[in-house]
Amino acid sequence: MTVPRFLRIATSVLAALLLMNTVQAQPVPGQSDTAASFSCELASTEVEIMICQNGELARLDRMVSFRYHELLKQSADPIAVRDEERQWLREQRDPCQTESCLQNVYRQRFYDLNKEIFQQQIAARQQAALALSAANHPVTPLALAQPPVRKHKRQPLAASQAEDAAANTDASAADAESTGEAPVQRTASATAFSAASQPADAANTTTPEQPLSEWDKMLDDVTHLLVIASVISFFVLLGMGVTDRVVIFYDSKDLSFSILSVIGYPLLWVFHRFMESWLFSHLLLLLAVVVSMYSIIRTFTSAIRHNGPVLGIVVGIFKVLISFMGILILFLAGVRASQRDSTTKDVLIAALMGGIVGYVFYLLVNGPEVEDRRKYETWEKAEQRREQNTRRNAESNTSREQHARQERESTRDFDATSAPGTRRWFDVLGVPENATMEVIHRAYRQLMSQYHPDKTASLGPELRELAERKAKEINAAFDHVRKRHGMAS
């Protein structure tokens, strides 16, 4: 029994809606009673209560507080730093009503505090270096205002500043660990700030980029062509799969193996991260590798078995890509719909995307349809060959009948031109009717050697007349055979 297509669409959309609502109803991970930088017992505003109830927000609050106090110690104007902090709390943090808004505000604040700290550190080092240089090499005030430019020494200075920033970052991390705070990764930020804080003319000392060689240009062109060909192939295979031209997913089991080849290893790897036992965690990791490899082999084997070697490999790659894209779309839609600030519109959009992805997968499970189509095409080709053979046989029979009719007419003409009471040509020559030309020619020579006028010259008049009439009959029969076979008379 075939289920109507519209019913399958409705089922896919309904299942996606239920899935999205289920994901949204689940508790958000990371909610715990982790302490923030302030006392949660004295929390009075909604923002402070939200920070105390969310572990990620509490961690961000501790990180920002740590960097704020570090900037307060290093700043030459701590009053301005305090005023800036109060302004940030009043204008940016407190107006937030959702966790995502608070996370963005805290991350931006952490970034800004890091930037100010490193800028102050770099400025202090530059002042110290300038004071040291002035102490070792006394110069005039004009020279201090315009120091000589030495381009070959600027690059090492920039490198030393980057090393100082990295060392200062490591020291800050060590201080954070000594104070019991959570360690913060700042190496990338320190490198970025140190590079951004270099003088403008230091950038001019960098080596200009070399132009691309012909080989590099050719590689770029080939890469672009491969990308374009891959995109075109993807959509072509998608269209061929939807229109039942090639077998994409033979059945639901084949679809399951394709999806498992994409999510099998990441899913088990996530479980492996939460296991405390070293042995069981590595066994689970090994199981993830085995499951993924087995699923990939099954995916490509099915594609090659139903589409041939070359097309099967292409279809196997397409199956892995379409499975990865579908799972990624569903995951992103589920994450968006499960956030606390999501609206009904987000849930409906996520459900619609899930329904579309499910319907595309349903259309690509087309093994029986493609087999039926191929059987019909094979039957149609066999019918066409049968009709051609029948037409060819009919034409052959018609030509055979025409040939037989011509033979009968020629035989009738021979009999009409022959003397009354004479026999047919094959009776005259003494050969079968279907005898070959070689046999007929040999029989003709034997008969003519008997009835030739030179052989009967010594006989009586009646016998010579009979032999002459017999010779004429033999010649007429042989001429008739030669005409039948297309020979000149």
CA gap 99, 57 in Å, rounded: 8
CA gap 238, 242 in Å, rounded: 6
Q: Which of 198-207, 265-274, 438-447 has the lowest mean pLDDT?
A: 198-207
- DSSP lists the bridge partners of residue 249 as 365
State residue 144's pLDDT score.
45
Q: What is the per-residue pLDDT across 303-339, written as a single tens digit (0 to 9) for each?
A: 998 888 988 899 999 988 888 888 888 888 888 788 7
Q: What is the per-residue pLDDT across 467-485, written as a single tens digit (0 to 9) for each?
A: 888 888 888 888 888 877 7
Q: Return the closest-CA partner of residue 315 out of 356, 280, 364.
A: 364
Q: What's the full length of the chain, in residues?
A: 489
Instruction: With beta carbons less than 8 A apart as the criterion, state whether 303 and 316 touch.
Output: yes
User: Which token pair is 215?
Assistant: 């080989």
Instruction: With beta carbons less than 8 A apart as the criterion, state whether 304 and 313 touch.
Output: yes
Instruction: With beta carbons less than 8 A apart as the criterion, state whether 252 and 287 touch.
Output: no
User: Which token pair is 199?
Assistant: 């003088």
State residue 452's pLDDT score.
76
CA atoms within 13 A on the CB side of 387: 6
Place of tokens 């059987």: 375
Q: What is the per-residue pLDDT across 14-39, written as a single tens digit (0 to 9) for each?
A: 555 555 554 444 443 443 445 778 88
DSSP string, 11-80: HHHHHHHHHHHHHHHSPPTT------SS-GGG--SHHHHHHHH-HHHHHHHHHHHHHHHHHHHH-S-HHH
The rounded mean pLDDT for the chain is: 75
Instruction: With beta carbons less than 8 A apart as the criterion, state whether 114 and 67 touch.
Output: yes
Q: What is the per-residue pLDDT across 434-463, written as a single tens digit (0 to 9) for each?
A: 788 888 888 888 888 887 777 777 777 787
> Which domains, and CATH codes, for the chain?
5-15+17-24+229-365 (no CATH), 31-203 (no CATH), 418-489 (1.10.287.110)
Write out the H or E segment, with its range, that includes residue 207. none
State residue 330's pLDDT score.
85
Q: What is the per-residue pLDDT across 294-310, written as a single tens digit (0 to 9) for each?
A: 999 999 999 998 888 98
* Residue 8 CA: distances (Å) to CA of 15, 75, 359: 10, 66, 8
Residue 203 scores a pLDDT above 80: no
Q: What is the separation, in whole angstroms, between the first and last Cα of the chain? A: 76
State residue 227's pLDDT score.
82
Q: Helix 214-242 vs helix 344-364: angle between axes, to the nearest 10 degrees?
A: 80
State residue 300's pLDDT score.
92
CA gap 42, 35 in Å, rounded: 12
Tell me the residue type at 351: A
